[in-house]
Amino acid sequence: MSRVFVLLTLLPLLSVASAQTTIRNAHGSTVAKISSDGRVTDSHGSSLGRIKSDGRVVNSHGSSVGRIKKDGRLVNSHGSSIGRVSSGRLTNKHGSSVGRLDSSGRITDSHGSSIGRATGSWCEKQVVAYFAFFHQGIFSP
């Protein structure tokens, strides 16, 4: 049984990390931070938006950009599916694999190449929401 699956069964699906999460790109540079209350900032500290405890994701102006549902489905602001996360596996709206988030926080694309890493006290749902709604590309068709 994978460590991610075990963690998900022990934690509430949308638990908020108890400390700050840092998102780093493949070269190790900080690209974003997620605070314990879900605030998302870029590497310069500018607000990108917020990942709310109920799964709603809003941009820096407070407008809805989507939601990560309790079952792992990701939907845009119109309610259309853009992907899903299940036990660390990321799929697009067609069910094709687009990446993986492993138990160490490493994020890989569909070819297994590293695209980043989550460090600190991170929550799978927050990291996936960042990549779905604030990072371009991973859930594109």
Which pLDDT score is estimated for 46? 96
Task: Report domain extents, the chain.
Answer: 3-133
pLDDT band of 5, cuts 50, 70, 90: very low
pLDDT for the residue 140: 57
Per-residue pLDDT reduced to its tens digit, 37-56:
999 999 999 999 999 999 99
The alpha-helical segments, DSSP class H, found in the chain are 3-10, 124-133
pLDDT value, residue 35: 94
Instruction: Decide: pTM greater than 0.85.
Output: no
Q: Compute φ and ψ for 61, nearest 5 degrees.
A: -95, 0
Residues near 3 by beta carbon (within 8 Å), at least 6 away in sequence: 103
Are 31 and 22 contacting, i.e. CB atoms less than 8 angstroms apart? Answer: no
Cα 139 to Cα 83: distance, rounded to the nearest angstrom = 7
**CATH number assigned to the domain covering 3-133:** 2.40.160
Res 128 pLDDT > 70: yes
Nearest CA to 115 among 127, 56, 126?
127
Q: What is the pLDDT of residue 38?
A: 93
Query: What gap in Å lies between CA 40 and CA 25, rounded to an integer?
Result: 15
pLDDT, mean of residues 95-123: 91
Could you give the percent of the chain with pLDDT greater than 70? Answer: 83
